[in-house]
Amino acid sequence: MGFFYGTGFVSYALSVAICVATFIAWKVLIGMSLHDNRVFEWMIVNGIILIGMQPILMRLSRTIWLNFFVWYDPATQDIPDMHTAAIHA
């Protein structure tokens, strides 16, 4: 349960970064005003983007969280693991 709990924090951070990026892009390209519905239009577009990117964010957050604790060691590439050795024996 701890692994998926940690990936939730990473996924949240990635989602916040996407929200900030879309907000800045919307403000620069379209403009932001409280006197019309541009804020609400951004919220709708941002929600659609986040829902569409959810599978990517889920897998990316798992990869980022896993890389905090497991490092790739090229020297272990040639060492067979116990499962492979038991199958070929």
pLDDT tens per residue across span 31-45: 888 788 888 999 999
Task: Quote the CA–CA distance of 60 and 58 in Å, as a whole number.
Answer: 6
- Amino acid 5: pLDDT: 87
DSSP 8-state symbol, 31:
-
Over the stretch 16-74, which tens digit does the pLDDT of each residue have? 999 999 999 999 999 888 788 888 999 999 999 999 999 999 999 999 998 888 877 77
Task: Quote the CA–CA distance of 42 and 32 in Å, as a whole number.
Answer: 9
- Amino acid 67: pLDDT: 87
- Amino acid 1: pLDDT: 62
- Please provide residue 55's backbone torsions phi and psi, each rounded to the nearest 5 degrees: -60, -40
